[in-house]
Amino acid sequence: MKNIYGFTLPRLENYFLKKGDKKFKATQVFEWIYKQRIHSFDEMKNVSKNTIEDLKENFALTPLTLLQKQIDTDVCKFLFGLADGNKIEAVLMKHDYGNSLCVSSQVGCNMGCTFCESGRLKKVRNLEIHEMVTQILQVEQEMNIKISHLVLMGIGEPFDNYENVMDFISILNEPKGIDLGARHITVSTCGIVPKILKFMKSGKQVNLAISLHASNNEIRDKIMKINKAYKIEEVIDAVKQYIKETNRRVTFEYILLKGVNDKEEHAIELAKILKGINCYVNLIPYNETSHIEYKKSSKNTIMKFFDTLKKNHINVTIRKEFGSKVSAACGQLRANYEEG
Ligand code: SAH
């Protein structure tokens, strides 16, 4: 039985058309599940008994299992169980501009970034579309809030689950459903070049963030395995093409790791690479985890790095630190739950 939350509107329309039924039934279903947030098909008041019976026979309307919730003032972390027993995380961050949810796209991750907790569990499988959609629905229900921004920065590499992630975004965007605008959604990738180019051609107005984290290949090779496949120059080249084609500004994420990539020379090198590109750099204070030996750069070092980029005409921001109290770095909650 398929989970209905995995269906884009056109796919659900097709389902009804194939049965010789009316297309608009798909819209009705969408409105019931995403606007009214029903938990059973029986609650659909304006839909015929036959259709309800048919839906009950063919579709599941099942949520994820909430295993754990950790609440802090401006951040809340959720650990969800999937039907097959795997676990994933979502993190809610309360900003002054709204509620942003960070969702997972895979169980585990194969990208092998040495500083990242998520990758300690190798990829078990991709998340199904419905497993991404229901992360939002459940957080909204649990917290009684509306999510205004969504980032694909949880466990997993979204571009390693490309097709499902694109369908997930279509479901989010659907005006008759969740209706979250593309510009409020950000996909973050470690830099899988062919997928950046594919994404460029998809026409989606979603924000793109690139986890760069290093100013030269020597350092990036050491901390991000993906750099063996796609060098910094290739990533930058793909980003330039992306910007030319889409006219959209790109974000480069840069985690500051003490003594590894946080020196002034690195900031100067980074500014050189990014010169003339319509982008901004988001400096990320490293969220230390007990399993990995990297340390976070000092406040002073972070500020110096920031200033050097500024002086070299690079748009730069420092990411607000969330949830060090609630182990908010990707993969930490799952790791602690399994081991604690
Ligand atoms: N695979 C994608 C998305 C998931 S990671 C990607 O690589 O972009 C989302 C962001 O969090 C990435 O920039 C990642 O490098 C960063 N990150 C991972 N572990 C972190 C930690 N301990 N502290 C701070 N940021 C971390």
Predicted local confidence at residue 338, as pLDDT: 60
Residue 109 bears catalytic tag: no
Catalytic pick among 13, 76, 89, 190 = 89
State the distance from the centre of ligand 1 to the C-alpha of 160, rounded, in angstroms: 15
Backbone region of residue 327 per phi and psi (left: phi > 0; alpha: psi in -120 to 50; beta: other values): left
Residue 225 has which token pair? Answer: 């395995």
Mean pLDDT of 92-120: 93
Exposure of 190 in the CB half-sphere (CA atoms within 13 A): 26
State the distance from the centre of ligand 1 to the C-alpha of 25, rounded, in angstroms: 40
State the distance from the centre of ligand 1 to the C-alpha of 304, rounded, in angstroms: 22
Pocket residue to mutate for ligand 1, from 190, 330, 333, 336, most atoms within 8 A of Cβ: 330
Instruction: Work out the burial of residue 171: count CB atoms within 10 Å of its CB; fewer than 13 is exposed, 13-18 middle, 19 or more buried.
Output: buried
Q: By alpha-carbon position, which residue is closest to atom 19 of ligand 1? A: 116
Mean pLDDT of 104-119: 93
Predicted local confidence at residue 335, as pLDDT: 62
Predicted local confidence at residue 72, as pLDDT: 86
Instruction: Work out the burial of residue 14: count CB atoms within 10 Å of its CB; fewer than 13 is exposed, 13-18 middle, 19 or more buried.
Output: middle
| 3-state SS, residue 48 | coil
Q: By alpha-carbon position, which residue is closest to atom 4 of ligand 1? A: 153
State the distance from the centre of ligand 1 to the C-alpha of 259, rounded, in angstroms: 19
Residue 330 bears catalytic tag: yes
Task: Enter the pTM of the model.
Answer: 0.95
Measured distance CA(246)–CA(235) in Å, rounded: 16
Q: By alpha-carbon position, which residue is closest to atom 17 of ligand 1? A: 116
Mean pLDDT of 267-296: 94
- pLDDT level of residue 292 (50, 70, 90 thresholds): confident
Q: By alpha-carbon position, which residue is closest to atom 18 of ligand 1? A: 116
| 3-state SS, residue 191 | coil
Predicted local confidence at residue 24, as pLDDT: 96
Interval 246-269: pLDDT, tens: 999 999 999 999 999 999 999 999
Measured distance CA(104)–CA(155) in Å, rounded: 4
Interval 50-71: pLDDT, tens: 999 999 999 999 999 999 999 8
- pLDDT level of residue 321 (50, 70, 90 thresholds): confident
